[in-house]
Structure 1
């Protein structure tokens, strides 16, 4: 091999080595077996109140104030206990966070692990105390009860009712008892008309029942019935009488029969109201 050919070959080898080193430097480093960080535990929208009662599958975080050598997250098991370092199983179900703190504190002191620990318990996942909201609401679903909620607050949590909803809610308790609440009175009534909900309650917003009005009204059509709706209110809902309409000539087709109505009569679901002409 001539000196010139040798130099050309040496330069080519050097170029390959330099290029390979640069590619290796630019390639992202990744350790074998490395995994993405695990997602964080379910976090509540807001802290639990001091009156929140723990139940099965709730998740709590237990720690000691000013110390990092004890604690962690634990789920309330089917038997109502949680498992913690040093002290093992501790009853947690049907306790508030304050009561659980005292239980853990007593166990740590009795076991001789800490002389005077300050135990902190925080609920980080809710699973045991819910209400179910169904029907003509904007966001039906399960709402966790991390504190005492009034019915109006639950309704706000689901975005209120739809335009097609009735003007009332039906609340069914776990014992089968049903109660009816007028939505307007949730805001304007007293505490009895806007009660606290209980875990296991089912809240249902029914679709509004309707009536049909036609004849000498400005806006004939199908409209929802409100509680206590009278013929006078139905005429207003239909945008009032035309110039030739008469409020003394209102009749309903009800259950296949014609019924003459006065302004104070109540409108019933499925009524077909006809407004006649007045005499000149």
Structure 2
């Protein structure tokens, strides 16, 4: 798995080198306005919107008003199913929270409760994952368990490696069908002079090493010294 993601990141960096060498035009916006990815479901996951669609390994807390015995937590399995008391297995994968609430209320009303009011709270958005590579203490793929900033994502990977370049952090993301990248300086983010952007599922964060001569370094040289989000 790790080798596959290393290859993927290498391909991203090759694209960067090609774009820089060819002088390809880039569209940019301030990092403070860092746009959400194409998958609006990922955006909904962290803003409390109703369009987030549940996925494998998401952890749900389910309760029925007035029936404390039915309050429980359940995790969506790899097939998209959850196990619900009295009801049994129910397909949750691909449904929004309101859709699943309505489905469970219907099942409870079929033979157990009168006018049940079902509430579902997603306690872990584990189906959303972020990849961290480069000069990180613990590179890998990590689940996003809620609204997560760049600093928090790096902390999940046990922080920057001692050889990391704090000014060489790049976030890759697809927006409106375009592969885009934003560069960040961790020192500036920490002191508040640069925004700490929200991270979404499927984002790739790459940390450059100090003094390296790579495609990522060439990309960093080609953009202003502030958080910009640029089409590649």
TM (normalized to structure 2)?
A: 0.53
1:150 and 1:125 mapped to 2: Cα distance? 16
Match of 1:155 in 2: 154
User: CA offsets per residue over residues 101-145 of structure 1, 9 Å max, x none?
Assistant: 343223323x14211323243445553111122221244344322
Match of 2:183 in 1: 181
Partner-residue secondary structure (3-state), 2:63: strand
2:88 and 2:72 mapped to 1: Cα distance? 12
* CA shift for structure 1 position 68: 4.3
RMSD across aligned C-alpha pairs, in angstroms?
3.7
- Work out which structure has the larger RCO, using CA pairs closer than 8 Å and 6 or more positions apart in sequence: 2
Contact in 1 for aligned 2:83/2:90 (Cα 8 Å): yes
1:120 and 1:205 mapped to 2: Cα distance? 41
Match of 1:214 in 2: none
Structure 1 residues 136 and 176: alpha-carbon distance in aligned structure 2, compared to 1, 3 A threshold: farther
Match of 1:165 in 2: 164
Contact in 2 for aligned 1:71/1:84 (Cα 8 Å): no
* CA shift for structure 1 position 55: 0.7
Structure 1 residues 172 and 60: alpha-carbon distance in aligned structure 2, compared to 1, 3 A threshold: same
Match of 1:221 in 2: none
Contact in 1 for aligned 2:61/2:74 (Cα 8 Å): yes
2:200 to 198, 201, 214: 198
Question: Greater Rg, structure 1 or structure 2?
Answer: 1
Moved more, 92-101 or 161-170: 92-101
Contact in 2 for aligned 1:50/1:98 (Cα 8 Å): no
Contact in 2 for aligned 1:171/1:204 (Cα 8 Å): yes
Q: How does 1:77-88 map to 2 (within 5 A)?
A: 77-88=77-88
Partner-residue secondary structure (3-state), 2:101: helix
Contact in 2 for aligned 1:168/1:180 (Cα 8 Å): no
Match of 2:57 in 1: 57
Structure 1 residues 104 and 129: alpha-carbon distance in aligned structure 2, compared to 1, 3 A threshold: same
2:194 and 2:72 mapped to 1: Cα distance? 45
Match of 2:120 in 1: 121
Q: How does 1:1-280 map to 2 (within 5 A)?
A: 50-51=48-49, 53-70=53-70, 72-97=72-97, 99-109=99-109, 111-123=110-122, 127-166=126-165, 167-173=167-173, 177-184=179-186, 186=189, 187-189=192-194, 194-209=196-211
Contact in 1 for aligned 2:126/2:144 (Cα 8 Å): no
Partner-residue secondary structure (3-state), 1:108: helix
Contact in 2 for aligned 1:138/1:161 (Cα 8 Å): yes
User: CA offsets per residue over residues 15-66 of structure 1, 9 Å max, x none?
Assistant: xxxxxxxxxxxxxxxxxxxxxxxxxxxxxxxxx8744652113233423244
Match of 1:256 in 2: none
Structure 1 residues 99 and 202: alpha-carbon distance in aligned structure 2, compared to 1, 3 A threshold: same
Higher fraction of helix = 2
* CA shift for structure 1 position 205: 0.8
2:55 and 2:116 mapped to 1: Cα distance? 25
Q: For structure 2, list consecutive stretches of 5 or more residues without a partner in the other structure.
A: 1-45, 214-219, 222-232
TM (normalized to structure 1)?
A: 0.46
1:81 and 1:49 mapped to 2: Cα distance? 24
